[in-house]
Chains A and B, each alone.
Chain A
Amino acid sequence: MSRKDRLANVDPFGNEDDQSTSPVDLTAGERPRMTMADADQALFGALAKREGMRQTIRPISIFNIQPDVKQPRRAVPYQVREHWSGRPKDIADLFNAWVMLIDQERQEDGHPPFNLDEVLWSEAVERQGRSEDDIENAPYQAGPIENSFLKVIHLAISIRRDGLANPITVQRTPKGAYRIETGERRWLAYHVLFGYFNGDAGKPNERDKWENIPCIVVEDFNVWRQASENAARADLNAIGRARQFALLLMDLLAERGVTFQDYEALVSGANSDRAYYAQVVPYRVPSGKSEMLLNGLGVAHRAAFTRCRALLELPDEVWMIGDVLDLSEDELLRLAKISPPQRAVEEARRIAKIVATRNNLPETEEKSSPRKEASSPTLFTDKALKRGKRLFTKQHGQIAKELFEIRDGVGQANVATKRQIRDHIQILRACLDQLESALDQ
């Protein structure tokens, strides 16, 4: 055979069918995720699994990041959130609604509208919310919606002054945007700084600085990591903890093949999101997983599960009021026991009313004429009842106010003090329960 024939007879693509690599199954796995290792496997086929991956931080545009609607801890109250499409480009709507609702809140108490400049720009007011004297002497104490906003503003001030201490964690969505796993409030703070320090009206232009936020891009959305971040903070309220419990339990149950309806299918607009989380109520914690769930929630005893379940069955309105007002777990459990549910709702509304006026109660009875009419003086006849009248008409506002001040400061209390306070609460509650049942008789 000539050289030419030999060359002509060889098929240089001959071993094409004998490819050792075979396509990987990319449809496997429930959550969308994409790491370099995944892309590598998609391209070159499967590799031996690596143990872990170091994460580095990279800046991502705040307009390419969306909050996670299921996040148990809510930086934005639901009344504000319902004014927003959920798209980062419409974020101005969110802030406008927030300020509008704050102004309504202030108007109800006869106070001037909210002034962002005063809070964010003036150095003097920058200290507000930190020094106790400032709070004591402040002319007006913020309501729940304003408080939620001030938390963001104070965070923004601290980020601008000291920088962002911890990057937020985000997960890439199939559409190329990023969803927040942890750090919603930090992300909002960046939006505040970006929107405010825009070079207008003598303010410095810092847009370059705040347009991108340092992010850790995580491979898959992990409710446990979100939970550990939430547990490490003091400000996860009772409803938030019930949500957290539900999300973690859902994750455990999903491993066992239990499926749940989507968040969007059950929750829309201004409705309560409780229905989504309440899906876990009929299910037990899978055996052998209690410890994991306890650690995830950052609680010591299984009794916490029972309490979370009780909260998940609260009437929707009580659930929402409890979340916005950060009502304590004990308070909410008390409401959970009230039947029929309508009475619990009325009770929650009553509490909301007290909270709304708690910080701005007029000093004298004369000025609080509507409340004076509400309590019937004929109830109190003898001496004890007269004292009671004074307590319930004149002083209940003051007591509520002081109790809430204790609540605001109790985060700093040590274990012993907390135990003492718990004891006192129990005594007070017993007294009030007895008084209430006496009224019913």
Chain B
Amino acid sequence: MKTITLVNEKGGVGKTTLAVHIAAGLAIRGYKVVLADADPQGHATVSLGAKKEPGLYDLLVRGAPFRDVLRPVSPDRFGVPGYPVKGQLYIVPSNVETRSIPIQISDAFAVVDRFRELQDLVDVVIFDTSPTPSLLHGSIYLATDSIIYPTKCEFLSFDGLVESFTHREMMQQTRERWGLSEIGVMGIVPTMFRASTLVHQENLNKLRAKYGDLVWPEMYMRTVWPEASTVGQLVFRFAPQSGAARDLWNIIDRVESELNR
């Protein structure tokens, strides 16, 4: 089992959208995937058509078994029409109660311990996090194997990205002390890219100059994204032939090759 977390300490860069689509894309390709919504907004939860409820809270605070908190996601929401979904997708839902988890429990390893129960049952666990630092982030960093950083090619998103990198570095020492391996950087995904703007072009160049191969293919700003979300489907389902779906499969390819590395 591999655990991937999507992080950027700037809001609105596409963390949730990317988390949901990576989870769905891997499920389509045959992986058993659990998406854990760790954002009190619960937008990953609603994106997959699940009800906002205290799933992560019940898991960590009330000691609920996974069978009570995992919600299976119907392939009707994300599967490519006409093609069977080979894997499975589950969501651990979230709601506003997620924000009170750190008030209720203090053990930083609660996330590690609970998700270790899935070790032999699922292939990938993906955490969608909130942009604002919370006490829960530290626990998720302890449970994470690698991080994907979505970022817009804009100044404030880069600031969030740099902050996130700094904090990952800081966490390494702690993980080392507890005998945990280093958190890998899986990749940086330039999102909502507008090739027609100078600022995006310039900034993408600078991003590549700084981080090199860690920067994955850019995902373009396309109208199909808000459309799919409006009808409650993922892009794979809503517009499987669209450029957005193509962009996504490029990303899924990278994730898959990193998982099998």
Contact between A36 and B158, CB atoms less than 8 A apart: no
B167 at the interface (CB under 8 A from A): yes
A37 in contact with B106 (CB, 8 Å): yes
Distance to closest chain A CB from B146 (angstroms): 16
Any B CB within 8 A of the CB of A31: no
- Whether the Cβ atoms of B199 and A36 lie closer than 8 Å is no
Q: How many angstroms from the CA of A58 to the CA of B108 in the assembled complex?
A: 13
Interface flag for A261 (CB, 8 Å):
no
B63 pairs with A58, CB closer than 8 A: yes
A42 contacts the other chain (CB 8 A): yes
Task: Flag whether A54 is at the interface (Cβ < 8 A).
Answer: yes
B171-202 vs A, Cβ < 8 Å mask (1 yes, 0 no): 10110011100000000000000000011001
Question: Binary interface profile of A, 13-30, with partner B (CB < 8 Å = 1, else 0)?
Answer: 101100101011010000
A173 CB to nearest B CB, Å: 10
Docked Cα-Cα span, A136 to B198, in Å, equals 95
Residues from chain A with Cβ under 8 Å of B107 in the complex: 34-36, 58, 172, 217
A57 to B112, CA, bound (A): 16
Is there a chain A Cβ closer than 8 Å to B121's Cβ? Answer: no
Contacts of A21 in B (CB 8 A): 166-167, 170
Assess whether B46 is interfacial by the CB under 8 Å rule: no
Partner pick for B137 among A32, A34, A44, A60, CB 8 A cutoff = A44
Are B138's CB and A43's CB within 8 A?
yes
Inter-chain CA distance A174–B176, complex, in Å, is 11
A38 touching B138 in the complex, CB below 8 Å, given contacts A12-B206, A23-B170 = yes
Query: A26 near B174 (CB under 8 angstroms)?
Result: yes
Take A26-B174, A56-B61 as given contacts and tell me if A35 and B106 are in contact as well, using a CB distance cutoff of 8 Å: yes
Total inter-chain residue pairs, C-beta < 8 Å: 120
B141 near A43 with CB under 8 A, answer: yes
Q: Report chain A residues within 8 Å CB of B102.
A: 36-37, 40
Interface size in chain B (residues, C-beta < 8 A): 43
Q: A26-B177, A58-B63 are in contact. Are A40 and B138 (CB under 8 A)?
A: yes
Q: In the complex the two chains form, what is the Cα distance from A176 to B110 in whole Å?
A: 11
The reply to whether the CB of B210 lies closer than 8 angstroms to some CB of chain A is yes
Residue numbers in A under 8 Å from B206 (CB-CB)? 11-13
A45 within 8 A of B: yes
| A12 interface neighbour in B106, B108, B169, B203, Cβ under 8 Å | B203
The complex places the Cα of A69 from the Cα of B107 at a distance, in Å, of: 23
Interface positions, chain A 80-97, Cβ under 8 Å from B, are none
Which of B112, B139, B142, B178 lies at the interface centre, i.e. has the most chain A CB atoms within 10 A of its CB? B178
A15: nearest chain-B partner, CB-CB: B159
Q: Does B105 contact A (CB under 8 A)?
A: yes
Which residues of B have CB within 8 Å of A256?
none
Judged by a CB distance under 8 angstroms, whether A7 is at the interface is yes
Q: B221: CB under 8 A from chain A?
A: no
Q: Are B177 and A58 in contact (CB under 8 A)?
A: no
Contact A54 B104 (CB under 8 A): yes
| Chain A CB within 8 A of B136 CB | yes
Q: Once bound together, how far apart are the Cα atoms of A45 and B108, in whole Å?
A: 15
- Chain A residue with minimal CB distance to B180? A176
The reply to whether the CB of A3 lies closer than 8 angstroms to some CB of chain B is: yes
The interface size bin for chain A is: 35 or more
A40 CB contacts on chain B under 8 angstroms: 102, 133-135, 137-138
How distant is the Cα of A21 from the Cα of B137 in the complex, in angstroms?
Answer: 16
Q: How far is the CA of A54 from the CA of B135 in the complex (A)?
A: 14
Residue of A7, A23, A176 touching B109 (CB-CB under 8 A): A176
Complex Cα–Cα for A47 and B112 (A): 23
Can you name the residue of chain A whose Cβ is closest to the Cβ of B137?
A43
Does residue A130 face the partner (Cβ distance < 8 Å to B)? no
Q: Is the CB of A42 within 8 A of B174?
A: yes
Residues of A within 8 A of B155 (CB): 12
Is the Cβ of A3 less than 8 Å from the Cβ of B137?
Answer: no
B138 touches A39 (CB 8 A): yes
Inter-chain CA distance A57–B104, complex, in Å, is 10
A44 near B167: Cβ-Cβ < 8 Å: yes
Contacts of B118 in A (CB 8 A): none
Question: A42 to B138, Cβ gap below 8 A?
Answer: yes
- A39 to B136, alpha carbons, bound, how many Å? 9
Contact (A35, B61) CB under 8 Å given A7-B202, A13-B210: no
List 30 A-B residue pairs with CB atoms under 8 Å apart, sorted by A's residue number. Answer: A3-B198, A4-B202, A11-B206, A12-B158, A13-B210, A16-B162, A21-B166, A23-B170, A23-B173, A24-B170, A26-B177, A32-B177, A34-B107, A34-B142, A36-B108, A36-B138, A37-B106, A38-B108, A39-B138, A40-B135, A42-B171, A43-B138, A43-B171, A44-B167, A44-B170, A174-B179, A176-B178, A176-B179, A217-B107, A219-B106
A-side residues, CB < 8 A to B, are 3-4, 7-8, 11-13, 15-16, 19, 21, 23-24, 26, 32, 34-45, 53-60, 172, 174-176, 217, 219
4 smallest CB-CB distances across A and B, nearest first, come from A39-B138, A39-B108, A42-B174, A217-B107
Given contacts A19-B162, A40-B134, A172-B109, 5 further A-B contacts (CB under 8 A): A3-B198, A7-B199, A21-B170, A36-B138, A39-B139
